[in-house]
Structure 1
Amino acid sequence: MTTPQILLFGLLGTMIVLMLWGRWRYDLVAFAGLMVAVLIGLVPKEQAFYGFGNPTTVIVALVLIATAGLTRSGAVSRLTRVMATRSRGTSAHIGLFGAVGGLLSGFMNNIAALAMLMPVDIQTARKTGRAPGLTLMPLAFATILGGMLTLIGTPPNLIVSGFRSEVLGQPYRMFDFLPVGGAVAVAGIAFIALIGWRLIPRRDRSEEAGDTGGPQRRYFALLVVTEASLKSARRVSDAREEAARASVRIVGVSRRGQEMTGKLDEQLLEDGDVLILRADPAALDEFRSTSDLSFPDGRNEPRARKDSEGQHLVECLVPAASELAGRSVRSFGMMNRHDGVLIGLRRRGVALRRNLPLQVLEPGDMLLMLMPESRTEETIQATGLLRLDGGSLPVQRERHMKSAVALFVLAVIATAFEVTTMPIALGCVIVAYTLVGVLSVHDLYKHVDWPVIVLLGSMIPLGLALDQTGGSALIAQGLARLTQGYPAWAALVVLMGATMMLSDVLNNNATTIIAAPVSIRLAEALQVQPDAFLMGVAVAASCAFLTPIGHQNNTLILGPGNYRFGDYWRMGLPLEFIVMMVSVPILLIVWPL
Structure 2
Amino acid sequence: MSLEIAILFLIIIVVIVFFALEVFPVDKIAFFILAALLLTNLVSPEEAISGFSSPATITVLALMIIAIGLETNGVIDWLASGLKNLRVLPIFIMVPVFMFIAGSISAFINTTAVVIVFIKIITELSAKYDIPNSKLLLPISFAGIIGGSCTLMGTSTNLIVNAVAIDRGVERFSFFEFTWYGVIFMVITIVIVSALIKILPNTKKTKISEDYNLDEYITKVIVTENSSVIGKSISESFLYNNEDIEVLRLKRNGIINDRPGKFTTLKEGDQLLLRCNLANLIKLKDAKGFTVIKEEDNRKLADPITDSEELEENVQVVEILMLPNSPLIGKSIKTVGWYDLHGAVPLAIRKRRNFRNPRRRIFNRGKDEIELRVGDRLLVEVSESALDELQKIENVTILQQHKNIEVTTKTKKYISLAILLVVIALSAFSIFPILKSALIGCFLMIFTKCIDLGKIYSQVNWQIIFLLAGMIPLGVAMNNTGADQWISDQLLLIFENQTDIIVIGILFLVTMVLSGFISNNATAIIITPIAISIAASMQMDPKPFILSVLFASNFSFFTPVGYQTNTIIYGMGIYRFRHFFIIGGIVSLVLWVTASLLLSASL
The one-letter amino acid paired with 1:6 is: A
Q: CA deviation at 1:70?
A: 1.9
The verdict on how the C-alpha distance between 1:468 and 1:391 changes in structure 2, with shifts beyond 3 A counting, is same
1:446 equivalent in alignment to 2:458:
yes
Alignment check: 8 A CA contact 2:18 2:29 kept: yes
Match in the other structure for 1:543: 552
Q: CA deviation at 1:477?
A: 0.8
Match in the other structure for 2:147: 143
Alignment check: 8 A CA contact 2:38 2:48 kept: yes
Match in the other structure for 1:46: 46
| 1:127 aligns with one of 106, 124, 128 | 124
Match in the other structure for 1:191: 192
Alignment check: 8 A CA contact 1:68 1:447 kept: yes
- Alignment partners' CA distance in 2, 1:197 and 1:189: 14
Instruction: Flag structure 1 segments of 5+ consecutive residues without an equivalent.
Output: 211-316, 323-347, 350-362, 368-376, 525-529
Match in the other structure for 2:259: none
- Alignment partners' CA distance in 2, 1:408 and 1:197: 38
Q: CA deviation at 1:544?
A: 1.0
The one-letter amino acid paired with 1:190 is: V
- Alignment partners' CA distance in 2, 1:208 and 1:519: 57
Q: Report Cα offsets for 1:259-294 as digits up to 9, x if no partner.
A: xxxxxxxxxxxxxxxxxxxxxxxxxxxxxxxxxxxx
Alignment check: 8 A CA contact 2:427 2:437 kept: yes
1:68 equivalent in alignment to 2:68:
yes
The verdict on how the C-alpha distance between 1:13 and 1:458 changes in structure 2, with shifts beyond 3 A counting, is same
Q: CA deviation at 1:138?
A: 1.0
Aligned partner of residue 397 in structure 1, secondary structure: coil
Matched ranges for 1:197-208 at <5 A: none
- Alignment partners' CA distance in 2, 1:458 and 1:6: 20
| 1:490 aligns with one of 490, 498, 502 | 502
Match in the other structure for 2:407: 396
Alignment check: 8 A CA contact 1:545 1:572 kept: no
Alignment check: 8 A CA contact 1:480 1:518 kept: yes
Q: Report Cα offsets for 1:10-55 as digits up to 9, x if no partner.
A: 1221221222123433333333343233223334333333323333
Alignment check: 8 A CA contact 2:524 2:550 kept: yes
Instruction: Flag structure 2 segments of 5+ consecutive residues without an equivalent.
Output: 127-132, 212-250, 257-295, 302-311, 317-338, 343-383, 393-403
Match in the other structure for 2:535: 519
- Alignment partners' CA distance in 2, 1:86 and 1:366: 31
Alignment check: 8 A CA contact 2:512 2:556 kept: no
Q: Report Cα offsets for 1:181-206 as digits up to 9, x if no partner.
A: 55444223433454499789x9x989
Alignment check: 8 A CA contact 1:27 1:454 kept: yes
The verdict on how the C-alpha distance between 1:456 and 1:95 changes in structure 2, with shifts beyond 3 A counting, is farther
Match in the other structure for 1:15: 15
The verdict on how the C-alpha distance between 1:96 and 1:520 changes in structure 2, with shifts beyond 3 A counting, is farther
- Alignment partners' CA distance in 2, 1:99 and 1:161: 30
- Alignment partners' CA distance in 2, 1:423 and 1:207: 45
- Alignment partners' CA distance in 1, 2:444 and 2:103: 28
Aligned partner of residue 51 in structure 1, secondary structure: helix
Q: CA deviation at 1:154?
A: 5.5
Match in the other structure for 1:459: 471
> If the length of structure 1 is used for normalisation, what is the TM-score?
0.55
Matched ranges for 1:220-299 at <5 A: none
Alignment check: 8 A CA contact 2:37 2:477 kept: no
Q: CA deviation at 1:413?
A: 1.3
Alignment check: 8 A CA contact 2:57 2:468 kept: yes
Matched ranges for 1:399-414 at <5 A: 399=410, 400-414=412-426
Match in the other structure for 1:236: none
- Alignment partners' CA distance in 2, 1:155 and 1:61: 11
- Alignment partners' CA distance in 1, 2:87 and 2:506: 45
- Alignment partners' CA distance in 1, 2:481 and 2:73: 48
The one-letter amino acid paired with 1:146 is: C
Matched ranges for 1:29-178 at <5 A: 29-84=29-84, 85-87=86-88, 92=93, 95-100=96-101, 102=103, 110=107, 112=109, 114=111, 117-118=114-115, 120-129=117-126, 130=133, 134=138, 137-147=141-151
Aligned partner of residue 146 in structure 1, secondary structure: coil
Match in the other structure for 2:231: none
Q: Which moved more, 1:128-137 or 1:49-58?
A: 128-137
Alignment check: 8 A CA contact 2:105 2:114 kept: no
The one-letter amino acid paired with 1:515 is: A
Q: Report Cα offsets for 1:496-538 as digits up to 9, x if no partner.
A: 435556775646477445424523543x5xxxxx57x853542
The verdict on how the C-alpha distance between 1:162 and 1:64 changes in structure 2, with shifts beyond 3 A counting, is closer
- Alignment partners' CA distance in 2, 1:172 and 1:365: 56
Alignment check: 8 A CA contact 1:191 1:575 kept: yes
Q: CA deviation at 1:579?
A: 1.9
Aligned partner of residue 20 in structure 1, secondary structure: helix
The verdict on how the C-alpha distance between 1:113 and 1:404 changes in structure 2, with shifts beyond 3 A counting, is same
Aligned partner of residue 418 in structure 1, secondary structure: coil
Aligned partner of residue 38 in structure 2, secondary structure: helix
Match in the other structure for 1:474: 486
The verdict on how the C-alpha distance between 1:502 and 1:475 changes in structure 2, with shifts beyond 3 A counting, is farther
The one-letter amino acid paired with 2:408 is: R
The verdict on how the C-alpha distance between 1:409 and 1:578 changes in structure 2, with shifts beyond 3 A counting, is same
- Alignment partners' CA distance in 1, 2:555 and 2:175: 28
- Alignment partners' CA distance in 1, 2:428 and 2:252: 53
| 2:591 aligns with one of 575, 579, 592 | 579
Q: CA deviation at 1:209?
A: 12
The one-letter amino acid paired with 2:497 is: G
Matched ranges for 1:332-481 at <5 A: 364=313, 390-392=390-392, 395-399=406-410, 400-481=412-493
Q: Report Cα offsets for 1:223-256 as digits up to 9, x if no partner.
A: xxxxxxxxxxxxxxxxxxxxxxxxxxxxxxxxxx
- Alignment partners' CA distance in 2, 1:20 and 1:26: 11
The one-letter amino acid paired with 1:543 is: A
> If the length of structure 2 is used for normalisation, what is the TM-score?
0.54
Q: Report Cα offsets for 1:454-497 as digits up to 9, x if no partner.
A: 33322222232222221111111111111113345434433443
- How many residue pairs get aligned? The number is 414
Alignment check: 8 A CA contact 1:138 1:193 kept: no
The verdict on how the C-alpha distance between 1:442 and 1:489 changes in structure 2, with shifts beyond 3 A counting, is closer
The verdict on how the C-alpha distance between 1:174 and 1:45 changes in structure 2, with shifts beyond 3 A counting, is closer
- Alignment partners' CA distance in 1, 2:174 and 2:60: 28
- Alignment partners' CA distance in 2, 1:506 and 1:193: 31
Aligned partner of residue 390 in structure 2, secondary structure: strand
Alignment check: 8 A CA contact 1:113 1:143 kept: no
- Alignment partners' CA distance in 2, 1:427 and 1:49: 21
The verdict on how the C-alpha distance between 1:422 and 1:12 changes in structure 2, with shifts beyond 3 A counting, is same
The one-letter amino acid paired with 1:125 is: I
- Alignment partners' CA distance in 2, 1:464 and 1:196: 43
- Alignment partners' CA distance in 2, 1:428 and 1:318: 56
- Alignment partners' CA distance in 1, 2:555 and 2:179: 24
Alignment check: 8 A CA contact 1:545 1:576 kept: no
